[in-house]
Amino acid sequence: MEKLVSCLGVILLLSCGDEEVFYEKGDYDKVPKIDTHIHVSTNRDAFVQQAQNDNFKLLNIVVDLSKGKEFLEEEYRYRLEQKTRHPDDYEFATTFSIEEWDHPNWLNNTLSWLDKNINEGAIAVKIWKNVGMVFRDSTGQLVMVDDPKLDTIFKFLTKRKIPVVGHLGEPKNCWLPLEEMSVNNDRVYFEEHPQYHMYKHPELPSYEDQIAARDRMLERNPNLIFIGAHMGSLEWSVDELAKRLDKFPNMAVDLAARIGQVFSQTIEDRDKVRDFFIKYQDRILYATDLSDNGKAETTHLKKDMHDTWLLDWQFFVTDDLMNSDRVNQEFRGLKLPKSVVDKIYYGNAKKWLNMFSN
C-alpha cells in the first residue's frame, strides 16, 4: 500500500511538473519583448519612449522605396542616429538601392555600401518588393529576386552571417478585387496604393510567380539566413507556410502587418493556427510594421503603438473572445504557453537576428 501511495505521489509530481505555464494579459509590461520590424525615419524620440514604457526593444529597418539613392542614404542616417543615441533600445537593418542596376560598377558599389553599413552596426539587410514588382532593367524586364546577379550579394551576406529580411511579393489578397480580400487592412492599403494592387496589373507577375522566384533564390542559397517579412507572403495559409519552413531550415518569418490574416485563419480554425505556432515556435518573430516619420501627433502615435502591441499580446497569451477592425468577426485568443510566447517575443530575435548580443 505504501509503495502504491509513493508511486501515485511520483506520478502526481511529474504531472504537475509537466503542466503548461501561461502568461496573463496583466503581465504585458513586465515581460521583455522585441518588435523586429519597425520604421522610424525621424530624429525625435517619441517612438523609443513608448517602446520603453511597454518594455519593447526594436529593429529599425531601412527600405528601398525606389525614391533614389539620396533618399535611401537619408533613411539610413536616421537609423544610425537612433541606434547611436539609444544603443540599448534599437538595432537597425540596412538595405541597398537597385537604381543603378545596369551600371557596370553597381555590384561592387553595393557590396562596398553593405560592408560599410555592417561595420557601422547593421545586423540585417532588407530587400523590398520593388524587386519583382516595380524595378525594370534597361531592357524593360522586371528584376526578380532569383536574378543571378543578386546571388553575389546573398553569398556575401551568407559569408558575413548577416540575415536578409525579405519583403518579396505581397499578400495573396493583392491579386484579388477589394471586395474579395480576407482582411480589412488589405482593402484599405490597396485602395490607397493602386500601383501595388496586382489585380489591376495583370501584365505583372502573378502571386505564384513571386513566391516561386523567392523559393528558387533560397534553393540556390541554402545557407543564407532568411527572415520572410510579413509571414513570407504566405500569410493566407499556415499550411503553405509550414511547407516552406520544412523545406528551408534557415528560413524564419516575422508577423509584421499580417496579424489580421492570423486573426482571419483563427476564425476559420483556431486549433490549426494554435498548433502551427506551437510546432514552429522557433521560426516565428513578433513584428508589427509600426512607423514614425515625425509627422504624426505624438499622443496619437504613442496610443496607436500601445494599443497595437497590447491587442497582439492579449491574442497570444489569453483565450479571450476578441475583436479587431482588421476582421469582421469575433475570434478567440491562442493562449500559447509561456515558453512559446518568450521565443516569439524575444528569444527568436536573438537567435535569428543576433539582436543585442553585445
**How many residues does the structure list for the chain?**
358
Confirm if 174 and 196 have CB atoms less than 8 A apart: yes
Residue 285 is predicted with a pLDDT of: 99
Q: What are phi and psi of 92, to 5 degrees?
A: -140, 150
Helix ranges, 86-163 (H): 106-119, 130-133, 148-160
Q: How far apart are CA 65 and CA 13, in angstroms?
A: 57
Q: How far is CA 309 from CA 82, 83, 150, 181, in A?
A: 21, 22, 35, 24
> Helix or strand or coil: residue 142?
strand
Q: Which helix (H) or strand (E) holds 321?
A: strand 321-322
What is the tens place of the pLDDT at every residue in 262-284? Answer: 999 999 999 999 999 999 999 99
**Given a cut of 80, is residue 4 above it in pLDDT?**
no
Task: Report which DSSP code applies to 206.
Answer: P
Q: What is the mean pLDDT of residues 55-74?
A: 93
Q: How far apart are CA 87 and CA 19, in angstroms?
A: 38
**Given a cut of 70, is residue 1 above it in pLDDT?**
no
User: How are the residues of the chain apportioned to helix, strand and coil, as percentages rounded to the nearest 5?
Assistant: 50, 10, 35
Predicted TM-score of the model (pTM): 0.94
Query: What are the residue ranges spanned by the domains of the chain?
Result: 23-353
Q: How far apart are CA 283 and CA 319, in angstroms?
A: 22
- Average pLDDT taken over every residue of the chain: 94
What is the tens place of the pLDDT at every residue in 328-344? Answer: 999 999 999 999 999 99
Q: What is the mean pLDDT of residues 290-311?
A: 98
Pairing of strands 90-95, 164-166: unpaired
Q: How far apart are CA 66 and CA 107, in angstroms?
A: 17
* Residue 68 pLDDT grade (very low, low, confident, very high; cuts 50, 70, 90): confident
Q: What is the mean pLDDT of residues 22-35?
A: 98
Output the CA angle 2-6-9, nearest 5 degrees.
Answer: 140
Quick one: what percent of the chain has pLDDT higher than 70?
95
Output the CA angle 281-322-232, nearest 5 degrees.
Answer: 35
Distance, first Cα to last Cα, the chain: 57
Q: Which helix (H) or strand (E) holds 279?
A: helix 259-279
Q: Which helix (H) or strand (E) holds 229?
A: helix 229-232
Q: Which helix (H) or strand (E) holds 42?
A: none
Q: Where are the beta strands (DSSP E) in 144-222?
A: 164-166
What is the tens place of the pLDDT at every residue in 103-114? Answer: 999 999 999 999
**Given a cut of 70, is residue 292 above it in pLDDT?**
yes
Confirm if 309 and 323 have CB atoms less than 8 A apart: no
Residue 357 is predicted with a pLDDT of: 82
User: In terms of CATH, what superfamily is 23-353?
Assistant: Metal-dependent hydrolases (3.20.20.140)
**Given a cut of 60, is residue 18 above it in pLDDT?**
no
